[in-house]
Amino acid sequence: MDTKLKNKVAIVTGASKGIGAGIAKALGLSGATVVINYASGKNDADQVVSEIQSKGGKALAVQADMSKSADVRRLFDTAKTEFGSIDILVNNAGLAIFEMIGDLTEEAFHKQFNLNVLGYMLAAQQALKHMDKKGGSIINISSILSTDPYLASSVYSATKGAVDTITLALARELGPNKIRVNSILPGHTNTPATAGNFDGDLGDKLIAGTPLGRFGEPEDIAPLAVFLASDDAHWITGESIRASGGVRGVGY
């Protein structure tokens, strides 16, 4: 096991599967104690905990709806009670509903903004409270859609554009607290949430538009998160970094 993040405590939201799970496992392998947040996938979250523990790491699964302030407070309070400190926050919990503007519903709009944007800000608010003056790292998971939207992704892409703007704003605001804030923009990545989305002609076009010639995997995103969480990135804040295999535009 690596010791890059030894004695650090990390909260990863939406970490029961996909990119969040991949980041949580990588943080655990780098020595961090990891709090695995989930909304409803308890079995999946417990499996991530087991994988980290089986390799000598420490982890705990905690249920919380990140769009609800009371749940977010409970998540951070639990982490503080169990482990005594919080050093790393990975804001990953998110929701994507792809609709053309003619089919847009207020419910879909608010669900996405409440989780993808408000949820990130509620978590950052608690991170400030618990990190206090000792500093830490906040990593916001954005998307290449923040700058290059798919068809029918106007609301989801808007939430990710907001994430990148919030990242810069909070980097400036929290810098005096020694808290660094950066965002990662994954490209076309294989996760349970995207299963089936890349099949057929669309998948062929997306791969053709990806210079490295394949879809990403959570394991491709995780090392960047580990780096940003570590002291190796001590002079990096306010940045939005693409992890997309070289995609520019939507890739087709």
Residue 199 makes CB contacts below 8 A (sequence gap 6+) with: none
The answer to whether residue 247 sits within a structural domain is no
What was the pLDDT predicted at 36? 98
Average pLDDT over residues 35-49: 98
The answer to whether residue 32 sits within a structural domain is yes
Residues with active-site annotation: 156
The answer to whether residue 3 sits within a structural domain is no
Provide the CATH number for the domain around residue 176.
3.40.50.720
CB 122 within 8 A of CB 140: no
What was the pLDDT predicted at 212? 96
The answer to whether residue 146 sits within a structural domain is yes
Q: Which of 25, 22, 30, 21 is nearest to 3 (CA)?
A: 30
The answer to whether residue 1 sits within a structural domain is no
**Count of domains forming the chain:** 1
Average pLDDT over residues 175-204: 90
Q: Give tens-digit pLDDT for 141-189.
A: 999 999 999 889 999 999 999 999 999 999 999 999 999 999 999 999 9
The answer to whether residue 139 sits within a structural domain is yes
Domain limits for position 183: 9-240
pTM (2 d.p.): 0.97
54: pLDDT strictly greater than 80:
yes
pLDDT bucket at 217, cuts 50 / 70 / 90: very high
pLDDT bucket at 206, cuts 50 / 70 / 90: confident
The answer to whether residue 141 sits within a structural domain is yes
What was the pLDDT predicted at 198? 79
Q: Give tens-digit pLDDT for 71-101.
A: 999 999 999 999 999 999 999 999 999 999 9
What was the pLDDT predicted at 6? 97
Angle between helices 119-131 and 69-83 (to 10 degrees): 30
Look at the block and give the residue holding tokens 């939430």: 159
- How buried is 190 (Cβ within 10 angstroms: 0-12 exposed, 13-18 middle, 19+ buried)? middle
CA 114 → CA 38, 107, 218, distances in Å? 16, 10, 24
The answer to whether residue 2 sits within a structural domain is no
Separation of alpha carbons 196 and 198, rounded Å: 6
Average pLDDT over residues 21-48: 98
What was the pLDDT predicted at 30? 98
What was the pLDDT predicted at 155? 98
